[in-house]
């Protein structure tokens, strides 16, 4: 049995003359934390949209847990265990934290009764450190807690894999550890993570492997520090003055 949870095979996607995926192929193992970096416009967010079904590829295949999901809609993919956060949190602003997370339980692989769904929502809220904001309208949360809510909604759908789209973006250095702790605990619990992020030192502190893409192509893939040391990655993405924070 394959140890890969998700496999991307020869994926192609263009928007007019703009190519965002060109024969893109890679795989992510079960329980792995896999990071993705690249310049703006490299196709990173589009790649997550292709995986969760918000966009449909022009050609190629997406294999998830042994099954081809090319024809499945986002809700169907969610029911298989594919969950997603977004770069800009868009909660239901007038609904409480609990109500926001409860909605997400509708997309879990197992169809639970109302009581079990409520329990799952409460567990997700506690897991992401939002217990103090249980009855707070989501629109009143500060940015860090809106990011936590994004994670909480993703966790409540009982995913096998979580796709993180710049979840750390906009946070201060003092706010980052709280978020990284949650992501690290999810990884320890066996949740597979695919994470796009421009805050490179945050990625390196968590991920097992790193991939750099540009122009819809894989530039480098492998050990995070080896990828970041690649002359081509430095030229295309990082710049010659790059240094990982703390080194």
pLDDT of residue 139: 95
* 52 part of a folded domain: no
Determine what percent of the chain is predicted with pLDDT higher than 70: 95
DSSP codes of every residue in 6-46? EEEEEEEEEETTEEEEEEEEEEEETT-EEEEE--TTSSHHH
Q: Is the pLDDT of residue 146 over 60?
A: yes
DSSP state of 53: T
pLDDT of residue 221: 97
- Of 48-52, 73-77, 113-117, 211-215, the one with minimum mean pLDDT is 113-117
pLDDT of residue 113: 82
For the record, the structure tokens of 26 come out as 């890679």
* 134 part of a folded domain: yes
Q: How confident is the model at residue 108 (pLDDT cuts 50, 70, 90)?
A: confident
The rounded distance, in Å, linking the Cα atoms of 87 and 190 is 23
**For the chain, what is the mean pLDDT?**
92
For the record, the structure tokens of 159 come out as 């995913």
The rounded distance, in Å, linking the Cα atoms of 169 and 181 is 16
* 239 part of a folded domain: no
Q: Is the pLDDT of residue 239 over 90?
A: no
Domain count, the chain: 1
pLDDT of residue 14: 94
> CB count, 10 Å around CB of 142?
10
* 30 part of a folded domain: no
* 109 part of a folded domain: yes
* 112 part of a folded domain: yes
Mean pLDDT along residues 18-32: 95
Q: How confident is the model at residue 87 (pLDDT cuts 50, 70, 90)?
A: confident
User: What pTM was estimated for this model as a whole?
Assistant: 0.92
* 217 part of a folded domain: no
Cα-based torsion angle of the residue sequence 144, 201, 211, 226 in order, rounded to the nearest 10 degrees: -170
Mean pLDDT along residues 18-42: 94
Q: How confident is the model at residue 243 (pLDDT cuts 50, 70, 90)?
A: low
Q: How confident is the model at residue 245 (pLDDT cuts 50, 70, 90)?
A: low
* 149 part of a folded domain: yes
Which structural domain range is residue 114 located in? 89-159
Pairs from 115-121 (Cβ < 8 Å, separation ≥ 24): 120/156, 120/158, 121/156
- Of 117-126, 163-172, 175-184, 231-240, the one with minimum mean pLDDT is 231-240
Say if residues 74 and 53 touch (Cβ distance below 8 Å).
yes
Pairs from 61-64 (Cβ < 8 Å, separation ≥ 24): 61/7, 61/8, 61/9, 61/10, 61/11, 62/6, 62/7, 62/8, 62/9, 62/11, 63/4, 63/6, 63/7, 63/8, 63/9, 64/5, 64/6, 64/161
């Amino acid at each position: 049995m394959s140890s890969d949870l998700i496999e991307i095979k020869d994926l192609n996607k263009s928007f007019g003359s703009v190519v965002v995926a060109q024969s893109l192929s890679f795989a992510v193992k079960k329980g792995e934390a896999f990071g993705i970096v690249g310049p703006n416009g490299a196709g990173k967010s589009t790649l997550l949209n292709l995986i969760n079904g918000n966009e449909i590829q022009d050609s190629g295949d997406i294999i998830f847990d042994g099954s081809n999901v090319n024809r499945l809609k986002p809700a169907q993919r969610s029911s298989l265990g594919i969950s997603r956060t977004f770069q800009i949190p868009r909660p239901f602003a007038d609904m409480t934290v609990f109500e926001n997370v409860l909605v997400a339980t509708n997309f879990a692989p197992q169809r639970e009764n109302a009581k079990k769904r409520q329990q799952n929502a409460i567990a997700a809220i506690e897991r992401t450190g939002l217990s103090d904001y249980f009855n707070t309208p989501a629109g009143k949360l500060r940015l860090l807690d809106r990011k936590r809510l994004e994670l909480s909604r993703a966790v409540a759908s009982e995913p096998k894999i979580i796709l993180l789209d710049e979840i750390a973006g906009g946070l201060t250095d003092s706010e980052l550890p709280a978020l990284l702790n949650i992501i690290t605990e999810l990884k320890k619990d066996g949740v597979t993570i695919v994470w796009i992020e421009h805050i490179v030192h945050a990625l390196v502190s968590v991920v097992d492997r790193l991939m750099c893409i540009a122009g819809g192509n894989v530039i480098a893939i492998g050990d995070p520090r080896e990828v970041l040391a690649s002359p081509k990655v430095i030229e295309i993405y990082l710049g010659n003055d790059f240094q990982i924070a703390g080194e």
